[in-house]
Amino acid sequence: MTATTSAQTKSFFGKRFMTDIKENKKTLIINLMLELLGLPLFSVLAIIAIYIDEVETKIDMLDNWAAILLPFSRISVLTILTSILLGIVIAHLNFSYLSKKSKADMNYGLPLSNTQRFFADYLSGLAIYIVPVFIAIILSFVILGIGSAIIDMSVFWEDALVPIVKAGFIAIVGMIMLYTVSVFALVFCGSPFEVSFSHIAINILIPATIGCVWLAIVTSTSYGMVGESIFYSPVFTATSPFGAVVFFFMYFIGAYDASTIEESSYYNSMYIRWMIAAVIMIAVYLLASYLLYKFRKAESVSKPYVYKAFFYVIGASAVFCIISLLIATGINTVAAAIAGVIICGVGWFIMEVITRRGFKRFWTAIVGFAATICVVFLICVICRITDGFGASRYVPAAISVESVSVNLNNSSLLPDEIDSNVEFSDKDVIKAVTAFHKEAVDRHYNFDDYTYNITENIHNDSTNRYDKQSVEITYHTIYGSTVMREYSVMSSMLSDMVEAVLCSDEYAEIASREVAVSLINAASEDGYTSVYIPNNKKNGRLYIKNKLGDGVTSVALRADSVEEFRNAYKNDLMEMSQEELENGSVYCYIGSDYWVLDSFENTIGFLEAHDITLSPIGRNDITDGGVQVNGKDYWSTNEIEIISDPFFYTSTDIFRTREDKYHYYNDESQDGVAEVDGITTALASSDSNYYGGASEDDYIVDKNFVKLINASTPFMFNEKPIAIIRIYNQSMTYYIRDTAENRELLNSISKVPNK
């Protein structure tokens, strides 16, 4: 060779890359056209919608503008979907020589190494797939920028831009995953039919298998397991294109739901972690594809499966999914399993006939199927024996938990905005939550140390007259995993956990921030603001409610005062000692959820500086509704109820004594298993349907009743109340401590059972 060697150092990778782009320029143009009809058209429609929304009140003829824009938005959505699916087609085109014999020589014979050829083909396909997306995004921003010059789009730029851009990146990562998984499916197959089949199979089976393994775990042990938690797991959402679609939509829904605390959304907090996990998974698929490609032989081009193991992996996954789904949804496990074996058997042999191109060595197919069935049943049996591979017994070590959120399901203990939405990373909170979790597990599995254990029957709501508190815990571990559990427990079990949450600096920070947001929203005429921005000062309005939850007064605050109030409330919460919390009495409420205790000097000082002083509850404060004592109506409605019978709210379904371990009974006459002992809270939404012969003669709102209300406390930790006060119209619960004075007060209005 003469001059050839002089060119040895030239990059054939680059040449292959450019050649591929040139070869697929038609696909590139089609993709570009689809993308241009997608996001940019959507942007135009958004501008038109915002503009029409502004002038709608002035121009009647535009009433049905939404109907006019709808077909165009459908075009936009359709083209976006088509361009996403184009990833599969592009992968096919760029690697067509892997399944077309005529093209194999042409490509393998070129002066390229396997590595150069693979990465040039992969990256050129990716460029054809993704570059039009970026062009469409840039063009969309240009359109929106032009739109901003014409109409006011400040709401979009301030509130929607960040979630949309983030969602855009989720979509792009999802698309790259779809393309990479398509390449992966191509490299282990050698014929067009198997390539097409494997595309479908791999895209369905990766998420389906993960989902069905989870389903098997959940169905084998229902205690504490949360079925839908699979949608929160990166194992599901970051491992397949379908998972990415789930994450994309859940992110949007989460961003929409988190109207007051943007960063509270689980999907928001998981964004970076999901991105990292998804990129790692793409890298794994790419590396696997590369290795399979590198060790694949050119002569394998017409083989159905170049690596036969994938046929068995796909087949086994499909068999597992079908059988586990049938078992999970079937009433009779054995019948479901037999039906599953029959269905899978037929499918398996059809696929064997297709891939073997006939009945050659058919006995190996029978052996393969039998082995697969054995493995699948072995997994199911192990799952059952080990209570879902020990999942329901698993309690994360506090040290491994990065953050935790607690959902007490509308309990008055935590404000709605904070309940379940806030990620606590305080080590004391995490320790308290894991301790609670461990107790819940121990009471179920290692119940010897307890007087009662918790049954699995947590979803039985036939009666809600329980001292039952539903708790959902979500851990995010330092390893990026998410652990979700749901329990119904006696409220006394929650004491330490709730106390740790309320005394944490994080709670002080978040609660004070949310108070500031509620103040600003109360003053806003344009709607609400979703996020508190320290430097974005706004005026607010402070609404004060008394202990009964009735509005007392309100005062307008300038922006500086909003900030001042926020700091005052925050400092009080941060300075609040455990003792103050345990013995505190409610001074007032800010808005409807944020309590101010008597000990909150800074907050009360701020209120007094604004001429707001609250007196204890008096007779006149009880102006409407009625009073009920131990189920007996003393007035016309059930607005306020005092329950002092400790056996009134007990459970026979949720809790059971050690002696009654195998006996369920649901007869209220046999109550007495659980006690209202050390109550933290009770169901705020509980309605009373037990009437004890009320009459107008029983009507009583005397000074002792009012005293009792003033003596009640919103929290009780690890001690036994002698009564509960419920204020139904405000969903509030108070507790009455066991003191001589309280007993006397209670005796004067109702008979208290002896201890």
Partner 1 sequence: MIELKNTVKKFDSYTALNGVDLKIEKGTAFGLLGSNGAGKSTILRLLSGIYKQEGGEVLIDGEPVFDNVKVKQKVFFINDETVQFGGYTLNELKNYYKNYYPNFSEELFESLRKRINLPLKKKINTFSKGMKRQAIVIIALACKTDYLLLDEAFDGLDPTMRIIVKKMLVDAMLDRQLTTIISSHNLKEINEVCDSAALLHNGKIIFSREIDSMKGEVHKIQVVFPKKADGTPTEYTKEDFASTGLEILHFERKQSICYIIAKGDENTVRAAFAPKEPLLLEMIPLTLEEIFIYELEVLGYDSNNIGTD
Task: List the interface residues with partner 1, window 250-289 (CB under 8 A).
Answer: none
Q: Which is nearer to partner 1, 113 or 670 (CB)?
A: 113
Q: What's the closest the beta carbon of residue 289 comes to partner 1, in angstroms?
A: 17
Residue of 3, 67, 149, 740 that binds partner 1 (CB under 8 A): 3
SS3 28: helix
Q: Is residue 470 part of the contact set for partner 1 (CB under 8 A)?
A: no
Q: What's the closest the beta carbon of residue 8 comes to partner 1, in angstroms?
A: 5
Q: Cβ–Cβ contacts within 10 Å for residue 672, how many? A: 11
SS3 80: helix
Residues whose CB falls within 8 Å of the CB of residue 712, separated by 6 or more in sequence, listed in order: 585, 725, 734, 735, 736
Q: Is residue 15 part of the contact set for partner 1 (CB under 8 A)?
A: yes
Q: What's the closest the beta carbon of residue 6 comes to partner 1, in angstroms?
A: 7
Query: Tokens representing 522?
Result: 């109360």
Q: Is residue 5 part of the contact set for partner 1 (CB under 8 A)?
A: yes
Q: Strand ranges (DSSP E) for 586-696?
A: 586-590, 594-597, 627-629, 632-633, 640-643, 655-657
Task: List the interface residues with partner 1, window 297-336 (CB under 8 A).
Answer: 297-299
Q: Which stretch binds partner 1 (CB under 8 A): 102-110, 162-170, 232-240, 453-461?
A: 102-110
Assess contact for 406 and 501: CB atoms under 8 A: yes
How many residues does the structure list for the chain? 755
Task: List the interface residues with partner 1, window 19-58 (CB under 8 A).
Answer: 19, 23
Q: Which stretch binds partner 1 (CB under 8 A): 103-111, 413-421, 561-569, 706-714?
A: 103-111
Q: Which is nearer to partner 1, 29 or 338 (CB)?
A: 29
Q: Is residue 356 part of the contact set for partner 1 (CB under 8 A)?
A: no
Q: 401: which strand partners?
A: 477
Q: Which is nearer to partner 1, 4 or 535 (CB)?
A: 4
SS3 194: helix
Q: Which is nearer to partner 1, 365 or 573 (CB)?
A: 365
Query: Tokens representing 255?
Result: 């961003």
Residue 489 and residue 468: Cα distance in Å, rounded? Answer: 6
Q: Which is nearer to partner 1, 93 or 435 (CB)?
A: 93
Q: What's the closest the beta carbon of residue 382 comes to partner 1, in angstroms?
A: 36
Query: Tokens representing 6?
Result: 């002089």
Q: What's the closest the beta carbon of residue 248 comes to partner 1, in angstroms?
A: 36
Q: Which stretch binds partner 1 (CB under 8 A): 105-113, 175-183, 271-279, 528-536?
A: 105-113
Q: Which is nearer to partner 1, 111 or 753 (CB)?
A: 111
Q: Is residue 93 part of the contact set for partner 1 (CB under 8 A)?
A: no
Assess contact for 215 and 382: CB atoms under 8 A: no
Q: 453: which strand partners?
A: 656
Question: Which DSSP letter does residue 602 get?
Answer: H
Assess contact for 578 and 597: CB atoms under 8 A: no
Q: Which stretch binds partner 1 (CB under 8 A): 5-13, 141-149, 190-198, 225-233?
A: 5-13
Q: What's the closest the beta carbon of residue 93 comes to partner 1, in angstroms?
A: 11
Residue of 55, 59, 113, 605 that binds partner 1 (CB under 8 A): 113
Residue 586 and residue 126: Cα distance in Å, rounded? Answer: 61
Q: Is residue 4 part of the contact set for partner 1 (CB under 8 A)?
A: yes
Residue 545 and residue 526: Cα distance in Å, rounded? Answer: 24
Q: Is residue 357 part of the contact set for partner 1 (CB under 8 A)?
A: no
Assess contact for 267 and 251: CB atoms under 8 A: yes
Residue 593's φ and ψ, nearest 5 degrees, are -115, -25
Q: Which stretch binds partner 1 (CB under 8 A): 98-106, 129-137, 490-498, 565-573?
A: 98-106
Question: What is the size of the binding site for partner 1 (CB under 8 A)?
Answer: 32
Q: What's the closest the beta carbon of residue 112 comes to partner 1, in angstroms?
A: 6
Q: Which residues of 578-590 are buried (b: 16+ CB within 10 A; e: fewer)?
A: eeebebbbbbbbb
Q: Which is nearer to partner 1, 206 or 301 (CB)?
A: 301
Q: Cβ–Cβ contacts within 10 Å for residue 26, how many? A: 9
Q: Which is nearer to partner 1, 25 or 703 (CB)?
A: 25
CA-closest candidate to residue 87, choices 238, 206, 241: 241
Residue of 58, 60, 109, 697 that binds partner 1 (CB under 8 A): 109
Assess contact for 444 and 223: CB atoms under 8 A: yes
Q: Which is nearer to partner 1, 7 or 67 (CB)?
A: 7
Which residue ranges make up the site for partner 1 (CB under 8 A)?
1-8, 10, 12, 15-16, 18-19, 23, 100, 102-106, 108-114, 116, 297-299
